[in-house]
A and B are shown apart, each in its own frame.
Chain A
Amino acid sequence: MSAVFKFEHWRESKPETTIAAAPAKALIQLERIRKTYDSGENAVEALRGIDLQIDRGVFGAIIGPSGSGKSTLMHILGCLDTPSEGRYWLDGEDVATLSGKALARIRNQKLGFVFQTFNLLPRATIWKNVELPLLYAGIDADERRERALKALDRVGLANRAKHRPNELSGGQRQRVAIARALVNNPSLILADEPTGNLDQKTGSDIIRLFEEVAAGGQTIILVTHDPGIARRTQRRIKIVDGLIVDGEDEE
């Protein structure tokens, strides 16, 4: 365990601090994040003022019941969506107000995703699947193949590189997804209910893989409703009703 973990208390920040620049050491800094969905007169406030700071190398979990806003928070952290209000610094960059195209670039360079439903391209080999982010980054074919193979090797599936997803088990498919998330050397990996479609044992193996990857210094945030999963991470971020509660985290 080479990573050094910082313990941070987070609370509602005071208005005066919003003008300050992001602290250099934190990978993620959220300030007064709000997200409102307008559906006619029934506006839904999914996030009602989030302040959050996450350092590099943290292996954490965002945990909350359904409807708590954890998915929304993940979407914003993952630059898939922008907040209605507030600031978000990712790796020193202000990303809260970026355009769709710019967000796509950020996702390509700095983020990796792992989904509950794996979301692999069904008719491409797993090798091509893992290459996908590099394809959009404009990396040339040889380098792509090499890096993708290395990523597959890291998750133990290099020997099946030319197989298609439908020839693999659920657990193996999720491993491929993790390899894809790693291939572009992201600053942050986000996993949304990564064990939701897996049985107990396989799910546990996947979490162990996350632990190994995190041990190498990779920042990983899981989003889950399962306390058992959350307990295996080093830091729990609890969200209820659009707000973060319970500032304590345990190692």
Chain B
Amino acid sequence: MLILEAIIDGVRDIKDHFGRTLLQLLGIILGAGSIVATFSLSVAGKEASMKFYRVSGGVERIWIGNRTPNNITQDAKALASKGLTYADALALREQGKELDLVSPVSQGGMTVRYGAIEKKRDVMGVTPAYSPISFFKVEHGRFITDTDLQNASRVVVLGTTRAAEFFGSDNPIGKTIFIDGAGYLVVGVMEEKWFSFDQRRNALRWMNRQMYMPITTMMTRRGEPLETGKISFMHARMKDVKRHKEAVDEIKSILRRQHGTNDFEVFSRVANLARNESEGKMYDVTFMICGMISLLVGGIVIMNIQLASFNERVREIGTRKAVGATPAQIFFQMLTESVLVSVFGGFIGIFVGKLFTDAIATLTRNPAAITPGTAMNALIFAAGTGLIFGMYPAIRASRLNPIEALRTE
């Protein structure tokens, strides 16, 4: 019997027994729907993650900081080291061939006062490179410039949260704000940064809370000479993402030469991304297992219903055998029906899966997207389930004794 014949017969048989088919379908639809939903959510999760990286500073960014002194095996040089300094930043800028921007940051808690409002706040001493490296621009006025840096000018740029905190709805630009007793001219206000995974909390609100002054000003105020002035951390930007390993290695070797020891840490965002990906894969596997369990249940449903219907059709199978159907032909026919129902259910399941996905996305405020790959997966799994779980009933049918079958009421 040709495959086409089997399929046509199978379709007709499904139409004839639509009630029974519907029950079978239910199992597969839910199974396939689960797979679609879980895969879509994981894909969307990855996309959201990528978007976050782009919005919050791009993947080309490298963070360089002091190694925390928890290491038991630190050597004497490391113990005596003073950590990262401004000189290190200059060294990286001069010698780093893989890097195109270096942005040292010196952070400190200071007393900020304007009018009646006085608060203790973190202030960051930065260079002009901070803005491009962080994908963070001024909305009003200007950022710190090289001139500010050279002159160690007393200027300050505010994040939107800080601007609102001290100035309310007034324009802060041109006004003087007092930091640790000294007056600073407000020259700029940053744009408002927003990114949310769940449409509620702003994952980037910490950026809006910052205040920036020239790093040279910060060190002068602290009484530190520039070359040996301590910095809290550095950002560097690599020229080519594909060479992220080389960039990190270069930074490490330059700093090792500067310090004579490994008292620093270098974090590449790209490496972070890779680690997130492998975590993401773990979630994927979990989701996939859930989806497959659903499909397993669907398969068991199919098998049970095939068995039940098989009992109804014993007489018919007996007749087919009497006119000369071989066990193999009966087996093939029953299995084809089973696979057909599953594939049909798989198709419907994809649509149901879309409904699931949308519902879950709305409830958890997570993004979700269905790809053709996911749909294909669901279909293949559905067909496979029909194949495997249809086997047992098909084998039983093929082994029926025609005489007993024909005697059945």
Contact = CB atoms under 8 A, between A and B. Distances in A.
Interface of A: 75, 78, 80-81, 100-101, 104-109, 111, 113, 115, 119-121, 123-124, 132-133, 135-138, 141, 180, 184
Given A78-B322, A136-B326, A141-B5, 16 more contacts: A80-B322, A80-B402, A81-B403, A104-B325, A104-B326, A107-B324, A108-B323, A108-B324, A115-B319, A121-B316, A121-B319, A123-B12, A124-B12, A133-B324, A136-B324, A138-B1
Interface of chain A: mostly helix, strand, loop or mixed:
helix
B63 to A, nearest CB: 71
A124 B15 CA distance: 11
B259 interface: no
B273 interface: no
A136 B322 contact: no
Interface of B: 1, 5, 12-13, 16, 315-316, 318-329, 402-403, 406
B402 A132 contact: no
A137 B324 contact: yes
Q: Is the interface of B mostly helix, strand, loop or mixed?
A: helix
Contacts of A123: 12-13, 16
Interface centre among A113, A136, A180 (most CB of B within 10 A): A136
A119 B327 contact: no
Nearest to B5: A135
Given A80-B402, A119-B315, A132 B12 contact: no
11 contacts: A105-B324, A107-B323, A109-B324, A111-B324, A113-B322, A115-B406, A121-B319, A135-B1, A136-B1, A136-B326, A141-B5
Q: Which 7 A-B pairs have the closest CB atoms?
A: A108-B324, A133-B323, A123-B16, A119-B319, A104-B326, A107-B324, A136-B325
A28 B263 CA distance: 101
Nearest to B16: A123
B327 A100 contact: yes
Contacts of A101: 326-328
Nearest to B4: A141
Contacts of B402: 80
A105 B321 CA distance: 10
Residue from B315, B319, B324, B403 having most chain A Cβ neighbours under 10 A: B324
B13 to A, nearest CB: 8
B324 A119 contact: no
